[in-house]
């Protein structure tokens, strides 16, 4: 049993009440974590405020050096990250190693390196020079979800602190363990006290208190669209800098000239990576009528062969969903799909697993066809191992179908004609589109959605811009 404490002002501190943390693959309680209240958040904000001046007075190079130290120390604990992430989320350990552990280290290393040129911009006039400098915003409130816990927390902490802000972060109460590991790493490397504070607890308590705190100047939130609306309702009238990375219902468009043998494993990855619990997952697959039968046969065969089970086994392609409540939600969408006339081509039920995994929140990967593309199942975010298939006649129809949801995060197009692929991508109303690939990330590029998928853009210089305040100093010659 792991005991998790808050990390405030460089110390690990207990709070009065705790919450149980459950391993969703077995139902076992694995940790007790703090249920922080307003006074606990207050202490963290006070620590962040006290550390503000000295941290922002360090040079950019000095702060970059701290990021490198954190990256190296995190890297030496990569296997611990993978194990804890797999235990806490139910995801396969091979995924936690390749994605969660690797990317968490890479985030610190990337921003340490990439920020070196983000110093000052100059705009000359005939008789004056404008110097644009980048100041810290102040105290950053960072709120993160359970699907990619340390990956997303480090994606926010690294640019926030390198630009001179101090941080109060609240990880998801469902997956607190790797945030705790990061606190240990930060403690071990000796980062100045109060620069990063981590407060555990419930969203409507600790999370809401951070968002509403008058001394927290900036909020970066990743999570569900409904929660994002609540965060915006609180933060916007307080004129806080706000970034909301919310949900998606991303379309995967398969044109008739796609090379199905190479595309299908990638389309399957895009539908089912992390049990379909990635905001970028391609959960609506739009398929040209000309290849509909061929696609279905190959795709369903591939998905049926995916192995669901013990997350610690290298054999498992899918592990457990993050919680029993979340599996209930995903299953309720499978039932809705049946009521909406959908035909389940594979999955749709829980797998038969041996003890202790018979008690876990597992679900077989599910493929559904025969649904109207405007049905609720095909337009609402399910965030689980469920994809729907829809035929189209023409490119125009595919684009109309892709754009018919309230979301606008990502999408992918599969074709052997790259010009055609790029042309279609330009018409898709999302923040990101991949052609013949998916989740192929370059950390320098903008990341963010349109419509109900959020506001604000992170990634590369967009993150550095968000976590800093540009100030123009115009000097007359
Ligand atoms: O996330 P929440 P939930 C989607 C997905 C999922 C749905 C709900 O569809 O089924 O959202 O998931 C904190 N003020 N995504 O309910 O509530 C919370 O403690 C401040 C997509 O589990 O959005 C956690 O730290 N904070 C998504 C974080 O918000 C609050 C990833 C996210 O939790 C709060 C996760 C409040 N009032 C779910 N209420 C993605 N975009 O990747 C909650 N929180």
If one residue of 223, 234, 244, 246 were mutated to test the ligand 1 pocket, choosing by the most ligand atoms within 8 A of its CB, it would be 223
pLDDT digits (tens, 9 = 90+) for 207-243: 999 999 999 999 999 999 999 999 999 999 999 999 9
Q: Given this model, what pLDDT does residue 169 score?
A: 99
> What separation in Å is there between the alpha carbon of 223 and the centre of ligand 1?
4
Q: Given this model, what pLDDT does residue 135 score?
A: 98
Hey, whose CA ends up nearest to atom 24 of ligand 1? Answer: 172
pTM of the model: 0.98
Cβ atoms of 31 and 177 within 8 Å: the answer is yes
Q: Given this model, what pLDDT does residue 58 score?
A: 98
Our answer on whether the CB atom of 205 is closer than 6 Å to any ligand 1 atom is no
If one residue of 200, 224, 409, 430 were mutated to test the ligand 1 pocket, choosing by the most ligand atoms within 8 A of its CB, it would be 224
Q: Given this model, what pLDDT does residue 259 score?
A: 98
Our answer on whether the CB atom of 283 is closer than 6 Å to any ligand 1 atom is no
Our answer on whether the CB atom of 165 is closer than 6 Å to any ligand 1 atom is no
Which distant-in-sequence residues (6+ apart) come within 8 Å of 30 by Cβ?
1, 2, 21, 22, 23, 87, 88, 177
Beta bridge pairs of residue 222: 245
> What separation in Å is there between the alpha carbon of 172 and the centre of ligand 1?
8
Hey, whose CA ends up nearest to atom 30 of ligand 1? Answer: 203
Identify whether 245 is a catalytic site residue. yes
Q: Residue 230 CA: which ligand 1 atom is closest? A: 37
Task: Give the H/E segment covering residue 141.
Answer: strand 139-143
Domains of the chain: residue spans and CATH: 2-246+453-476 (3.40.605.10), 251-442 (3.40.309.10)
Hey, whose CA ends up nearest to atom 13 of ligand 1? Answer: 203
Hey, whose CA ends up nearest to atom 43 of ligand 1? Answer: 203
Q: Given this model, what pLDDT does residue 364 score?
A: 98
Our answer on whether the CB atom of 279 is closer than 6 Å to any ligand 1 atom is yes
Our answer on whether the CB atom of 207 is closer than 6 Å to any ligand 1 atom is yes
Q: Given this model, what pLDDT does residue 222 score?
A: 98
> What separation in Å is there between the alpha carbon of 217 and the centre of ligand 1?
21
Work out the number of other CB atoms within 10 angstroms of the CB of residue 454: 28
Q: Is the peptide bond before 115 cis (omega within 30 degrees of 0)?
A: no
Q: How far is CA 37 from CA 13, 41, 458, in A?
A: 13, 6, 29
If one residue of 36, 153, 168, 203 were mutated to test the ligand 1 pocket, choosing by the most ligand atoms within 8 A of its CB, it would be 203
Q: Given this model, what pLDDT does residue 311 score?
A: 98
Our answer on whether the CB atom of 173 is closer than 6 Å to any ligand 1 atom is yes
Per the residue annotation, which of 173, 279, 331, 458 is the catalytic one? Answer: 279
Our answer on whether the CB atom of 147 is closer than 6 Å to any ligand 1 atom is yes
Identify whether 404 is a catalytic site residue. no
Q: Residue 454 CA: which ligand 1 atom is closest? A: 41
Residues of the chain with pLDDT under 50: none
Q: Residue 143 CA: which ligand 1 atom is closest? A: 25
Our answer on whether the CB atom of 454 is closer than 6 Å to any ligand 1 atom is no
Which distant-in-sequence residues (6+ apart) come within 8 Å of 169 by Cβ?
141, 142, 143, 144, 153, 156, 157, 179, 196, 197, 198, 199
Q: Given this model, what pLDDT does residue 32 score?
A: 97
Helices (H), 11-75: 38-57, 60-75
Which distant-in-sequence residues (6+ apart) come within 8 Å of 221 by Cβ?
142, 143, 211, 227, 228, 231, 242, 243, 244, 245
DSSP summary character for residue 192: P
Q: Given this model, what pLDDT does residue 451 score?
A: 97
């Amino acid at each position: 049993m792991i005991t998790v404490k808050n990390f405030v002002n460089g110390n690990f501190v207990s709070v009065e009440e705790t919450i149980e943390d459950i391993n969703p693959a077995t139902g076992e309680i694995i940790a007790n974590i703090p249920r922080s209240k307003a006074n606990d958040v207050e202490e963290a904000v006070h620590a962040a405020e006290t550390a503000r001046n000295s941290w922002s007075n360090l040079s950019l190079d000095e702060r970059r050096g701290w990021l490198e130290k954190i990256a190296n120390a995190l890297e030496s604990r990569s296997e611990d990250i993978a194990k804890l992430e797999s235990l806490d989320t139910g995801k396969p350990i091979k995924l936690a190693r390749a994605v969660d552990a690797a990317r968490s280290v890479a985030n610190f290393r990337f921003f340490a390196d990439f920020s070196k040129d983000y110093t000052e911009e100059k705009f000359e006039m005939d008789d004056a020079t404008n110097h644009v400098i980048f100041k810290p915003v102040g105290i950053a409130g960072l709120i993160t979800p359970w699907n990619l816990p340390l990956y997303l927390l480090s994606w926010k902490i690294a640019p926030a602190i390198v630009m001179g802000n101090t941080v109060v972060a609240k990880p998801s109460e469902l997956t607190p363990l790797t945030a705790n590991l990061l606190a240990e790493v930060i403690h071990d490397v000796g980062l100045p006290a109060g620069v990063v504070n981590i407060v555990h607890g419930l969203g409507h308590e600790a999370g809401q208190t951070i968002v509403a705190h008058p001394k927290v100047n900036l909020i970066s939130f990743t999570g569900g669209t409904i929660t994002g609306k609540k965060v915006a309702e609180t933060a916007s009238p307080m004129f806080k800098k706000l970034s909301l990375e919310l949900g998606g219902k991303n379309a995967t468009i398969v044109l008739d000239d796609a090379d199905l043998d190479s595309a299908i494993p990638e389309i399957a990855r895009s539908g089912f990576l992390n049990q379909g619990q990635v905001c970028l997952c391609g959960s609506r697959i739009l398929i040209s009528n000309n290849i509909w039968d061929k696609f279905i046969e190959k795709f369903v065969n591939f998905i049926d062969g995916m192995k669901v089970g013990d997350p610690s086994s290298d054999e498992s392609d899918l592990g457990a969903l993050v919680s029993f409540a979340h599996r209930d939600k995903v299953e309720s969408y499978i039932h809705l799909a049946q009521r909406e006339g959908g035909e389940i081509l594979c999955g749709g039920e829980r797998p038969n697993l041996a003890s202790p995994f018979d008690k876990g929140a597992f679900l077989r990967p599910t493929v559904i066809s025969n649904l109207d593309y405007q049905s609720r199942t095909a337009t609402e975010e399910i965030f689980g191992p469920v994809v729907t298939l829809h035929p189209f006649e023409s490119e125009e129809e595919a684009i109309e179908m892709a754009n018919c949801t309230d979301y606008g995060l990502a999408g992918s197009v599969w074709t052997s004609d790259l010009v055609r692929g790029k042309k279609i991508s330009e018409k898709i109303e999302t923040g990101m589109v991949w052609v013949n690939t998916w989740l192929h990330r370059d950390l320098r590029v903008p990341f963010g959605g349109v419509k109900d998928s959020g506001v604000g853009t992170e990634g590369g210089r967009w993150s550095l811009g968000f976590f800093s305040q540009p100030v123009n100093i115009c000097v007359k010659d």
